[in-house]
Structure 1
Amino acid sequence: MNSIYFTEEHQAFRESLKDFLQKEVVPHIEKWEKTGTIERFIWEKFGEMGYFGLAYPEAYGGLDLDLFYTVIFLEELQKIKSSGFAAAMWAHSYLAMTHLNAEGDERIKQDYLIPSIAGKKIGALCISEPFGGSDVAGMRTNAVKKGDKYIINGSKTFITNGVYADYYIIAAKTNPELGNKGISIFLTDTSLKGISAVKLDKLGWRASDTAEIAFDNVEIPAENLMGEEGKGFPYIMQHFALERLIMAINAHARGEYAIDYTIDYMSHREAFGKKISKFQALRHTLVEHATEVEHCKVFNYAAVARLDKGEYVVKEATMAKLKSTKVADEAIYSCLQMLGGYGYMEEYPLARLFRDSRLGPIGGGTSEILKEILGKMIIDNQNYEPAVK
C-alpha cells in the first residue's frame, strides 16, 4: 500500500473488492471468455455493491469518493485473468457515464445516470469510426435537426459494450463545414429503429463485446442533445484525460500482475537442480521490468492526484498511457518467455494477458497519435484547454 495516496479506508475497500471479485466474478470468467457474453446479473451485482458509483454524486446513487477508489477498482479488475471483463465494466462506468454526469441535464441523469450506477442500464461511448479511428475531427456521422428531432446517419466501430448496451453516447457532426467545432454529443436508446450492431471478432478482450454500429435515419428527440451544440469536441477531449489515465492504470496493474505471477512460478519451477528464480539472467530481466512498472505506477498516481484536485492533466495523462502500455507489453512478453512452454498454454494466465495487453497501445488513442499530441504540446507549445459548459 502506498501511504501517500491510500488510507486504511482505501485498503479496506481493496480487500472487500478482491473478495467480491473472487466470489462473484472469477467463477464465471472462463465461460464469459468462451461465449463472449457477460451475463446481466453481474452488472446489477456491481451496482448493488456501489462499484459503478464510486466517483459519482450521492444525489444519483453514487458514493462521491476520491479517484483513488477508482484506481483500486481498475487495478483489481486487471488481476482476475480477463481484461475483456474489466473493459466492459470500466467502459460503462468511466466512458459512457462520465458524459452522462458531465453533459447530461437533470432528466438524463434521472433516467440514465441513476440506473447506470445501479447496474440496471448499460452504456457505451460511440466515437471511433471505420474511416476515422483516432481522427475524431474527421468523423462522418452526422445529425441533422428537423423540428423537435435530430436525424442521425453514419457508423461507429470498436465500440466496447456496443451490443450489450441499453444506450449510446454518440458523437456526430451537426455542422460538418465547421470541422471539429461542428461536433455535438447525443444520447440514444439502442432499441430505436435504424440502429444495428454487429459484434467484432478480436484477438483479445474476448469476454467484452466490441461492436460496429450503423445509424440509418435514426430519429432522436432534440432534448437528447447533451450540453451545447458544437461543443462535442472539447467535451470529448476533456474526458480523454481520464480515459488515458484509466488505460495507464490498467497497464501498470496488469504488468504488476504478470510480474507477481512469474515470481511465484519461478520460485517453484526447477531446472538444472535449482529454482529458476536463482538464474541471474532471469532475475535481472525481471527486476528491470519491475522497476519500469513501478516508475509508471508512481507517475500515474501523481497524475491521478492532480486530476482529483481538478487540474487539467491532459499532457500527463497522455504521457502516462504512452509509457505504461509499452512497459506493460514488454513486461508481459518477458514474463511469458520465463514460463517457457507453459507460458504459451491457455490454462496459464500469461497467454491471455499477452493478447489482452496488446490493445493497450491502440485503444483510447494509438501510441502514434499520442506522440503527435505530445509533440504539439512539448515542441510546438500548443495548449489544450478544458471545455466550459
Structure 2
Amino acid sequence: MSFGLTQEQRDLRDVVRAYARRELAPGYLARARVAEFPWDCQRELGKLGLLGLLAGPDWGGEGEPDFTAPGLAMEELAYADFNIANCMLPPLIITSILREHASESMLQEWMPGLVAGDTMVALGLTEPGSGSDAGAMRTTAERTATGWRLNGEKTSITAIPFAQAAVIFARTDPALGAGGVSAFMVRMDHRGVRTGAIEDPGWLPVGRGTIAMTDVDVDGDALIGNVGDGFRTVMRNFDFTRPLLALTAIGAAQATLDETVEHVRSRAAFGSPLARFEGISFPLAEHATHLDLARMICYRALAKRTAGEPHTADAAMAKWVGPLYSSQAIHDCLLQFGHYGYSCEYPHEQRLRDVLAVEIADGTAQVQKIIIARELFGRDFLPYPRDGR
C-alpha cells in the first residue's frame, strides 16, 4: 500500500488549505453560531470545483472518481471551518447517486445547481422509528396512474431546512424488506410536503430537520434508478460518506491540537513552559498518534473505494474511531487552556459541540461495530434477520 499522494491530490490539498485558512478560518465562530446556510461559501466551493468531484466528467468531475480527493478537501476545510466542510457532503452524496442512477432529464435539472453551490438536495432516509435500521422504514410509495404517491415521515435530515429537494427512500414493496425500498426526487415545495427544523447545540449552519409527506403525488420520472434499488444505493454510498464524515472531525481536532501545542509552548507555570510537564505533553502526544491512526484508516477506505476493492469494514472502522478520537482530543485540549478554553471567545467549545454530531451521523459507534463484526463473522451472526425485515 502506498501512503503517498499523487501530484494532483497534493495540488488539490494545497489549494483548499490556502483558501480555507485564509478565507474561512477567521469567520468560523461567527458562522457557527447562526442557523443560516452559508450560500456564499457554498458557491465558492463550487467555483473551486469541490462540489463536482464525484459528479462525473460532464459536471466537472473525473471519468473514474478519486474518492481520496473529497477526503483531502473536507479535512482541510474542517481544519478551518467544520461546518463549511460538512456543507460539501450532501452534494457529494447526491451527485454520486444521480451520476449512477438518474435519468438524463433529472441530471440536467439538478446537477448544474448542485455542483455550482446554488442548490441543496438532502438525503431523506432516517425515520422517527428507524435510523441505521433502514430496512425497517415505514414511508411508502404506492403506484398511481401517473407515477407514485408518497406517505411517511423522515427525521434527522442534514441540511433539510435549507434544501430545495430531497432524495426520499420509501417502501415500494413491503413484502421484500430492504429489497423493496426505492428512491425518489421530491421537491420540498411540493403539495403535501412539510419540513421542520431541529434545534441542535452545534452544526447550525448546515442544519438538521424533518420531512412529513401526506399523499405526495410525484411523476414517474421522479424515480431514481430501478424500483427496489434504493436500499442498496444508499448503503453503497455510506461506504464512502463515513470516512469523509470522520475526516471532518479529524480536521477540526487537528486544528485544536495545533493550537494547543502552541499554547503550552508559550504558557508558563511554576517557572517553566507547560510543554515541559509530562502531564501536559504526553496526552497531546497520544492524541497526535490517535488522530494519525484514524486518518490513515479513513484514507485507506477511500483508496480502496477508488480501486474498487471491498471497504465496508474499513469505512465502519473510520466512522467509529475518527469521531471518537477527535472528540477526546478536542475535550482534552480545551482543558489545557484552563478557564480560557471554556470561554466562547475561543473555538474549542464550539468545535466540541460540532464534532459530537459526527459520533451519531451515518450510524453510531454501536452500528459501526455491528458492521465490522458482520464482516469478520459473516451474516449468520448478525443480531437481526438476514433479509433485513
TM-score, L = length of structure 1: 0.92
Corresponding residue number in structure 1 for 2:33: 34
Deviations 1:302-328 (A, max 9, x none): 222111112231111111111222111
Q: What residue is the counterpart of 2:276 in the other structure?
A: 278
Matched residue type, 1:33? A
Residues in 1 aligned to 2:30 and 2:245: alpha-carbon distance in whole angstroms: 25
Give 3-state SS (helix, strand or coil) of 1:120's partner.
Answer: coil
* Aligned-partner Cα distance in 2 for 1:375–1:67: 25
Contact 1:38 1:85 (C-alpha < 8 Å) held by counterparts: no
Give unpaired runs (5+ residues) of structure 1.
385-389
For the residue of structure 2 that corresponds to 1:54, the secondary structure is coil
**Residue 387 of structure 2 corresponds to which residue in structure 1?**
none
Instruction: Report what 1:14 is aligned to.
Output: 13
Distance 1:178 1:9, change over 3 A: closer
Contact 2:41 2:84 survives alignment (8 Å): no
Classify the secondary structure of the residue corresponding to 1:12: helix
Tell me the equivalent position of 1:310.
308
Q: How many residues align?
A: 381
Asked if structure 2 preserves the Cα contact closer than 8 Å seen for 1:88 and 1:160, the reply is: no
1:160–1:211: 8 Å Cα contact kept in structure 2?
yes
- Checking the alignment, whether the CA contact within 8 Å between 2:180 and 2:228 is kept in structure 1 is yes
Matches of 1:381 and 1:135, distance apart in 2: 15
Matches within 5 A, 1:1-389: 4-26=3-25, 28-63=27-62, 66-80=66-80, 82-90=81-89, 92-380=90-378
- The CA distance in 2 between the partners of 1:301 and 1:17, in whole Å, is 17
Secondary structure of 1:50's partner? coil
- 3-state DSSP class of the match of 2:372? helix
Take 1:220 and 1:200, find their aligned partners in 2: how far apart are those partners?
A: 26
C-alpha deviation, 1:271, in angstroms: 1.3
Are the equivalent residues in 1 in contact too, given 2:67–2:240 (CA < 8 A)? no
Note the C-alpha offset of 1:138. Answer: 0.8
- Residue by residue, what CA displacement relative to the aligned partner does 1:223-274 show, whole Å, maximum 9, x if unpaired? 1111111111111111110111112222332332221121011112111112
Could you report, residue by residue, the CA deviation over 1:353-372 in whole angstroms, capped at 9, with x for unpaired residues? 11112122211011111112
When structure 1 is superposed on structure 2, of 163-172 and 292-301 the one drifting more is 292-301
Which residue identity lines up with residue 184 of structure 1 in the other structure?
A: S
| Residues 53-62 or 219-228, more deviating | 53-62
Alignment root-mean-square deviation, CA: 2.1
State the 1:74 CA deviation: 0.9
Residue 26 of structure 1 and its aligned partner are, at CA, apart by 4.0
Deviation, structure 1 residue 114: 2.6
**Bigger mean CA deviation after superposition, 362-371 or 35-44:** 35-44
Structure 1: how far apart are the matches of 2:304 and 2:18? Answer: 30
Deviation at 1:203, TM superposition (A): 1.8
SS of the counterpart of 2:325? helix
Question: Distance in 2 between the 1:5 and 1:382 partners?
Answer: 38
CA deviation string 1:277-308 (max 9, x = no partner): 11111111111111111112222222221111
* Alpha-carbon distance in 1 for matches of 2:190, 2:45: 27
Is the alpha carbon distance of 1:259 and 1:41 closer, same or farther for their aligned partners in structure 2, counting shifts above 3 Å?
A: closer
Q: Which ranges of structure 2 fall in alignment gaps of 5 or more residues?
A: 383-389
| Structure 1 residue 120 displacement after superposition | 2.2
Is the 2:16–2:77 Cα contact (8 Å) retained in structure 1?
Answer: no
What amino acid maps onto 1:72 in structure 2?
L
The 3-state SS of whatever aligns with 1:171 is: strand
Query: How far apart are the structure 1 equivalents of 2:211 and 2:251?
Result: 31
Q: Is the 8 A contact 2:86 2:248 kept in 1?
A: no
| Amino acid in structure 2 at the alignment position of 1:83 | F
The farther-off stretch of 180-189 and 42-51 is 42-51
Q: 1:298 to 1:70 in 2, by over 3 A?
A: same
Give the percent of matched residue pairs that are identical in Structure 1 and Structure 2. 28
Contact 1:181 1:230 in 2 (8 A): yes
Separation in structure 2 between the aligned mates of residue 156 and residue 83 of structure 1, nearest angstrom: 25
More moved, 161-170 vs 40-49: 40-49
Aligned to 2:215, the other structure's residue is in SS state strand
Contact 2:86 2:206 in 1 (8 A): yes
Paired residue secondary structure (1:360)? helix
Query: In the TM superposition, what is the alpha-carbon distance from 1:381 to its structure 2 partner?
Result: 5.5
What amino acid does structure 2 have at the position aligned with 1:167? A
Q: Aligned AA for 2:221?
A: E
- 2 CA distance for matches of 1:74 and 1:382? 36
Question: 2: distance between equivalents of 1:89 and 1:336?
Answer: 27
- Structure 1 residue 151 displacement after superposition: 0.9
String of CA shifts for 1:336-357, please: whole Å, max 9, x gaps. Answer: 1111111111111111111112
Q: CA deviation at 1:383?
A: 11
Q: What amino acid maps onto 2:200 in structure 1? A: K
